[in-house]
Structure 1
Amino acid sequence: MENDEFDLQGFLPYLLNQAAEASSREFQQIYKDRYGMLRTEWRVLFHLGLYGRLTASEIGQRARMHKTKISRAVHRLTERRFVTRSRDEGDRRVEHLALTRQGQAAYDDLRAVAQRYDAALMDTLDAPEADVLRRALQKLSEAGPGGFT
């Protein structure tokens, strides 16, 4: 095999993915153990907890998740009585999603854990590093591919 001197460990998408996996592993175990949730389910739960009643399309736009993943997550969350669905009066094709009392309690619990977890992760960096990291990641997440082909 030819050595083309490509540095996979320094390739930004690979590095970001590795950092995301490493930094989210422990939190993932918490929502899985406490509530039996998958990653897409906690993301849907958090969007509804933060923004209130939304449609699946609105969650998809905010979370940048594919509609089929959202649909599966909503189905599971509804089965487990964390989320309710209600048809739109004006357009019967649209469903509004909201947290149930049980869903709100799970959100409140996991939000508190997430805040502590975030603080612990950021404690590994000094204040200027933490600030630069957050700003850089926000910039990258808001940027599109920029016409790369």
Structure 2
Amino acid sequence: MTLVRQGSPGQGLRSSEPEAGRLELDAYLPYRLSVASNAVSGLIARAYQDRFGLTVPQWRLICVLAEDGDLTQGQIVARTVMDKVAISRAAQGLLGRDLVRRAAHHADGRSHVLTLSPQGARLYAEIAPMALAYEQALIAGLSPGEVEHLKRLLLALQAAATALAQTA
């Protein structure tokens, strides 16, 4: 049994027997993951943008530096699996607001190390509890076991996507 859209957009999903070889977007897992990710990111991004003037890439960069300490942009790209252009733009915006600092890399003159500034650390400390509250609100209808299962499934899907990308 698959899910197909009923009528016009916004009317919800209904069950139907699948047609062999037919792609049904609402039942297509990559689409469902993208829609869910966009909905969650959009919700949280509005809060970051409205209250703190941050984009999602800027917030992720701040989080990574708060968690991992000083990193190069290449290390941030690897850690977040975000595009290097998005990381570069986020870093430029944060540098302009003195939320991060940039220094020459001690071993690679072509690379720079980004560090969270004291202002950036204070902003992180203010936003992190709000981010955790959003997470709690999003998972409120799930049991702790379901949350852990979901996290394991998402990690497995990420690993499978990474492996497929390496063979493509």
TM-score, normalization by structure 2: 0.80
Partner of 1:5: 22
Count, aligned residues? 147
> In structure 2, what is the Cα distance between the partners aligned to 1:90 and 1:130?
42
Alpha-carbon distance in 2 for matches of 1:120, 1:48? 25
Corresponding residue for 1:124? Answer: 141
Structure 1 residue 24 displacement after superposition = 2.5
Q: Within 5 A, what are the aligned runs for 1:1-149?
A: 5-143=22-160, 144-146=162-164
2:142 partner amino acid: L
Please list every run of 5 or more consecutive structure 1 residues that lacks an aligned counterpart in the other structure: none
Shift of 1:129: 2.1
Residues in 2 aligned to 1:146 and 1:78: alpha-carbon distance in whole angstroms? 35
- Give the root-mean-square deviation of aligned CA atoms: 1.8
Using CA pairs below 8 Å that are at least 6 residues apart, which structure has the higher relative contact order? 1
Classify the secondary structure of the residue corresponding to 1:146: helix
Q: Percent identity?
A: 33
Q: Deviations over 1:36-91 (max 9, x none)?
A: 11111111111111111000000000011121111111011000110000012332
Q: Give how far 1:101 is off.
A: 0.9
Which ranges of 4 or more aligned residues in structure 1 deviate by more than 4 Å?
Answer: none
Unaligned runs of 5+ in 2: 1-18
Aligned-partner residue type, residue 146 of structure 1: L
Q: Calculate the TM-score normalised by the size of structure 1.
A: 0.89
Say whether the 8 Å CA contact 2:41–2:56 is kept in structure 1.
no
Farther-moved stretch of structure 1 (93-102 vs 82-91): 82-91
